[in-house]
Amino acid sequence: MDRHKVIIVGGGPAGAMTALALTHFRPELAAEILLLEARSFPREKICGGGVSGRVVAFLEEVGVTLQKLAKVPVERFTICFDRDAFDAPFHNDKCFVVRRSTFDDFLLHSVRERGVEVRAPLAAVGAFREPNGIAVLDAIGTVHRSRILVGADGVNGRTRLWFGKPHRSRKTLLLQTDFPRDPEMPSGDSLIFDFTPLRFGRSGYAWFFPSMDAEGAPVINAGISGGPFVAGSLKQSREIFKTILDAHPAIKETAPERFHLRPYPEQDFSPFSNQAGNHVLLVGEQLGVDAFTGEGLAVCADSAAAAAQEILIALETGDYGFKGYSKRLISSDFFPLYLIGRPFWLESPGRRPNLLFSMATRKSHPGKENIMEIYGKLFSGALPAGKVFSPYFIKPVLRDLPPALLKRLFP
């Protein structure tokens, strides 16, 4: 049996970022944190690997420099639907694509360098509340006691369930693959999101990101999101993906005849899900991802920052209720993008994009910005997230609405 102030279950980006934020603000806490990770790193994680400027800004803020990390820089989004495509530049050089095994290993290594005890591979197999904290049982039968438990164990993590907090939002099926990339291809600096799956009754998108394999060779990281968890969904997603790939000849050129699409579950962030309780905080994919772009790493960064602030206050005051956590989460930078993405997101079964989405691929008015250009700037951090609540954002939304609808709304 051993004692700590904080136990973090899961050493992916959310767990590592929480440890990095805590030790940045209170370096002496390093000796009082235990991180349990079930797998040995580097480990593969199915992911697009798109890292936004907001995540980079968080890492810089907690003292992590990314110069030595192998990455592919990206400069823009390309939002496609059928034959329409719209480019939204990021307006800074902060966004990139990374191989998740490399990125996650880099972050966990940084945590170890700060003096945090990381035990891996060692899974937590159960946990319960005690009068003054939490007891966690690991896979070799050791009981670890602490004041606080941070659940950073990912989309299938069990910490949530150990404390009676069922998942609120639906899980969806994502498929991912890698195939060779021509480094000279014209869209090699873009995160391509193709929303054509809607035409097939699928609330999701196909993505094509310039990435690299474990040896550093150029690849396209591609996949499709939005499949329901029902029999036959995997086969259907695969077929839709292949059809969409045909519409991107430059990418298809390098794709092999047969490729393996790997399945993985995902769930959307919901502000109404349980995020904390006495002595317990949940971070990262336990909370979900942005519904529009599927970005989860910004949720990791922002929830890690919010959790670290709550933990520091709790250790100071002795109040471990974490009542302020939800409010802190919705004041984070990812939340305004979530607010934009939600209505844009196409849950209509009508096989056509909803009204707001159709504005996404509409060209800008001369000298004015399209809504996606603003979104791109927010994603990269070139524009502060708070701008969403200002006329700067609201005006172009109103301007892009069709005049007939505007007249009806504002006679």
- Interface residues with ligand FAD (CB under 6 A) are 9-15, 36-39, 45-50, 123-124, 152-154, 157-158, 174, 176, 223, 264, 266, 284-285, 289, 294-297, 300
**Residue 15: CB minimum distance to ligand FAD, A:** 6
What are 46's two structure tokens? 């199915």
Specify the 3-state DSSP secondary structure of 405.
helix
Nearer to ligand FAD, 119 or 342 (CB): 119
What is the nearest approach in angstroms of ligand FAD to the Cβ of residue 232? 20
Nearer to ligand FAD, 108 or 255 (CB): 108
Strands (E), 122-235: 124-130, 133-138, 143-151, 171-180, 190-194, 206-212, 218-227
DSSP state letters, 181-213: --TT-TTTTEEEEE-GGGGGT-S--EEEEEEE-
Q: Minimum distance between the CB of residue 85 and ligand FAD, rounded to whole angstroms?
A: 19
The strand pairing partners of 7, in sequence order, are 34, 149
CB of 223 to ligand FAD, least distance (A): 5
Least distance to ligand FAD, CB of residue 346, Å: 18
Q: Which is nearer to ligand FAD, 289 or 378 (CB)?
A: 289
The three-class DSSP label of residue 261 is coil
Of 90 and 369, which has the nearer Cβ to ligand FAD?
90
Which residue number, 161 or 405, has a Cβ lying nearer to ligand FAD?
Answer: 161
3-class SS at 143? strand
| Nearer to ligand FAD (CB atom), residue 47 or residue 276 | 47
Q: Dihedral angle at the C-alpha atoms of 238, 223, 244, 289, nearest 10 degrees?
A: 110
Q: Are 11 and 110 in contact (CB under 8 A)?
A: no
Q: Which residue of this chain has its Cβ atom nearest to ligand FAD in the complex?
A: 296
Structure tokens at 17: 């970022």
Task: Using the minimum distance from each CB to ligand FAD, give the nearer residue, 341 or 396.
Answer: 341
Give min distance, CB of 39 to ligand FAD, in A. Answer: 4
What is the three-class DSSP state of 394? helix
Beta carbons of 150 and 307 less than 8 angstroms apart: yes
Q: How far is the CB of 284 from ligand FAD (least distance, A)?
A: 2
Amino acid at 13: P
